């Protein structure tokens, strides 16, 4: 047997990773995955009900990506109860913790307690693969939540960072009409260099009525009630940004708009690929 791993919380990627580690003859424990049928039905994975006990049994703890959505609890959608970050900080350990998207302030706390803390999203290849999965998941959401084909649809993407670049590329390959909005002059120049339409985020108000799909990647509220009033009644709004997001979602829903806050959406079909790369990085 190679090593002992604790899979702590997480989504489909964590579940698939647990199965891959088992296949490689590692010992795997799970905590915070009580609602996962795949985990519960796998007799080779030890399900632990006490976090301290789980940590004591292993060499390496693998947390979710992102590690936390709110800075207080560990990202664990399959857990029966919330797992507070302070529980992990207080646990007795000299272990290796591997997770992704850990805020620097939280990482500093963890580094005081753990032997080593590794943020996998600091690795460029993992961040890129995660972004590809996010882009494909966004396309899936767009197909499922619109009444017309994507070809010819007008798509507005807010921001032009890593996620926005890949999302724009994938949507343009589907013959949609892509416009990207940014503030920096250099970003606007790059948007045009890639062949997309460009617009300054500060000038989007009276342009919003033209778009069928609006995708936000900026973790700062940009789309408020004033902007929402200028949108098509059947427009689809997808927010990919971490908290607080970039769209006033509650207001959008109240106004009858179709709004999706799509946190952590790697498509199922991409999960195997990402986990192989994750596993390679871990071991």
pLDDT computed for residue 4 by the predictor: 93
pLDDT computed for residue 272 by the predictor: 61
C-alpha to C-alpha distance for 56 and 136, rounded to whole angstroms = 38
C-alpha to C-alpha distance for 198 and 212, rounded to whole angstroms = 16
- 274 membership: H or E segment, kind and range: helix 268-282
pLDDT computed for residue 282 by the predictor: 58
Per-residue pLDDT of the chain (283 residues; tens, 9 = 90+): 588 999 999 988 888 889 989 988 999 999 999 999 989 999 999 999 999 989 999 989 999 988 998 899 999 999 999 999 999 988 767 899 999 889 999 999 999 989 899 998 888 877 787 788 889 999 999 999 999 999 999 999 999 999 999 999 999 999 999 999 999 999 999 999 999 999 999 999 999 999 999 999 999 999 999 999 999 999 999 999 988 899 999 999 999 999 999 976 754 545 665 666 666 655 5
CA–CA–CA angle 180, 211, 188 (5° rounding): 15
Residues in CB range of 151: below 8 A, 6 or more apart: 174, 175, 176
| Spacing of C-alpha 165 from chain mean position | 16
pLDDT computed for residue 267 by the predictor: 46
pTM flag (> 0.85): no
**What domains, with CATH codes, occur in the chain?**
4-122 (3.40.50.720), 127-261 (3.40.50.720)
C-alpha to C-alpha distance for 109 and 93, rounded to whole angstroms = 13
DSSP for 47-115 reads E-S-HHHHHHT-SEEE--SSS-SSSSB---TT-SS--BHHHHHHS----EEEESS--HHHHHHHHTTSS
Nearest Cα neighbor of 94 from 110, 71, 108 is 110
pLDDT computed for residue 91 by the predictor: 79
pLDDT computed for residue 278 by the predictor: 63
In angstroms, what CA-CA distances link 134 with 27, 52, 112, 274? 30, 33, 32, 11
């Amino acid at each position: 047997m190679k090593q002992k791993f604790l899979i702590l919380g997480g989504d489909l990627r964590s579940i698939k990773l647990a199965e891959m580690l088992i296949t490689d003859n590692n010992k795997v424990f799970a905590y915070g995955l009580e609602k996962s049928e795949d985990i519960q039905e796998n007799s080779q994975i030890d399900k632990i009900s006490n976090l301290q006990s789980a940590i004591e049994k292993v060499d390496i703890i693998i947390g979710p990506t992102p590690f936390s959505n709110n800075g207080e609890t560990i990202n664990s959608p399959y857990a029966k109860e919330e797992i507070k970050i302070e529980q992990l900080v207080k646990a007795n350990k000299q272990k290796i913790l591997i997770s992704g998207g850990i805020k620097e302030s939280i990482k500093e706390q963890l580094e005081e307690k753990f032997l080593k803390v590794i943020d996998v999203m600091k690795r460029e290849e993992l961040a890129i693969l995660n972004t590809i999965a996010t882009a494909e998941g966004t396309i899936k959401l767009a197909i499922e939540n619109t009444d017309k084909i994507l070809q010819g649809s007008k798509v507005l993407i807010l921001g032009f960072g890593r996620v926005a670049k890949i999302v724009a590329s994938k949507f343009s390959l589907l013959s949609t009409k892509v416009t990207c909005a940014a503030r920096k002059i250099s970003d606007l120049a790059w948007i045009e260099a890639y062949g997309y339409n460009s617009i300054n985020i500060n000038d989007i108000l009276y342009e919003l009525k033209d778009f069928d799909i609006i995708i936000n990647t900026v973790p700062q509220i940009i789309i408020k009630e004033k902007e929402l009033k200028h949108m098509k009644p059947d427009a689809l709004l997808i927010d990919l940004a971490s908290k607080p997001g970039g769209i006033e979602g509650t207001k959008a829903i109240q106004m009858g708009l179709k709004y999706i806050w799509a946190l952590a959406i790697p498509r199922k079909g991409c999960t195997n690929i990402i986990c192989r790369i994750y596993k390679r990085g871990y071991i």
